[in-house]
Structure 1
Amino acid sequence: MSIAAKLESLGVTLPDAPAPAANYVPFVRVGNIVYVSGQISKDDALITGKLGADMDVAAGAAAARVCAINLLAQVKAACGGDIDKLVRVIKLTGFVNSTADFTDQPQVINGASDFLVEALGDAGRHSRSAVSAASLPLGVAVEIEGIFEIQ
């Protein structure tokens, strides 16, 4: 099954790739590797909150899933609009807006990892870091950057 068809079967429509908010580019392609700038937890609205204070792990994981969808939107743009040129996810780095005593960052970023494996199968398996941040831009709950291999 193609990636586009799998996403459709999951009820996921990739949004237009978000434009950068400052003086940077949303992705850089070097050969067949695409480095995607951090994508925040934003769908129709910003998903804000601080894990360990006003947000639980399940809500954080849902926010991370949104970040993964936004990452795929950038990859689709890097592939000239053809998401099926994605070969594999190489690495994610997830930042979780959390309190100093919150220690479940990996479970939050699992929202992105689990979605990518569900959508891409083995091509979605990746190396990963999940770290805490005292705050994130616009008060979002999660930001994730990624490295991808494309055709």
Structure 2
Amino acid sequence: MSGFEARLAELGITLPDAPAPAANYVPWVKSGNLVFISGQIPMRDGGFITGKLGADMSVEDGAAAAKLCAISLLAQVKAACDGDLDRLRRVVKLTAFVNSTVDFGDQPKVVNGASDFLVEVLGEAGRHSRSAVSAASLPFGVAVEIEGIFEVA
């Protein structure tokens, strides 16, 4: 084990198998040296992390859900790189959707759960551009959905 996976191990994190798509799409597409990862939703112990920010979920719980999305994003990158996460060169962009009430404005704080995690694991390669957008609802009632663009070797 080397590089990024060693760092994940130091943090006590094992990447799950890349989640299968839930509808008629593919989990990732490679184009040149970019990998476009479809939206990942937060799962733990086989269940979805559900809730609406500003109603029944705290910012901290939303950030924890966003971190789970980031873990799934890395699992998809690993799958796209034939099992070699060290081919990852950088996170280019995240687009995050936060299931939130109309008056909730802390979407960026929620998405920091993913962004902070990626920087913690990947260092400078984890720094990225980002959008954090409110959504009236998300599939299965999940709290967050995050898609990403990654540069790979």
TM-score when scaled to structure 2?
0.97
1:27 is aligned to 28
Give the aligned CA root-mean-square deviation in angstroms: 0.7
* Mapped pair 1:43 → 2:70: no
Deviation at 1:31, TM superposition (A): 1.0
Deviation at 1:43, TM superposition (A): 2.4
Correspondence list, 1:96-115, <5 A: 96-115=98-117
SS at match of 1:103: coil
Q: Distance in 1 between matches of 2:44 and 2:83?
A: 19
What amino acid sits opposite 2:146 in the alignment? Answer: I
Deviation at 1:42, TM superposition (A): 1.1
Q: Distance in 2 between matches of 1:143 and 1:47?
A: 11
Correspondence list, 1:1-151, <5 A: 2-44=3-45, 45-151=47-153
The total of aligned residue pairs comes to: 151
What amino acid sits opposite 1:32 in the alignment? Answer: N
Q: Deviations over 1:91-141 (max 9, x none)?
A: 000000000000000000000000000000000000000000000000000
Q: Could you list the runs of 5+ residues in structure 2 that have no partner in the other structure?
A: none
Deviation at 1:143, TM superposition (A): 0.3
SS at match of 2:65: helix
Q: Could you list the runs of 5+ residues in structure 1 that have no partner in the other structure?
A: none
Q: Distance in 1 between matches of 2:34 and 2:81?
A: 11
Q: Distance in 2 between matches of 1:133 and 1:145?
A: 14
TM-score when scaled to structure 1?
0.99
What amino acid sits opposite 2:32 in the alignment? Answer: G
Segments of 4+ in structure 1 off by > 4 A? none
Deviation at 1:41, TM superposition (A): 1.1
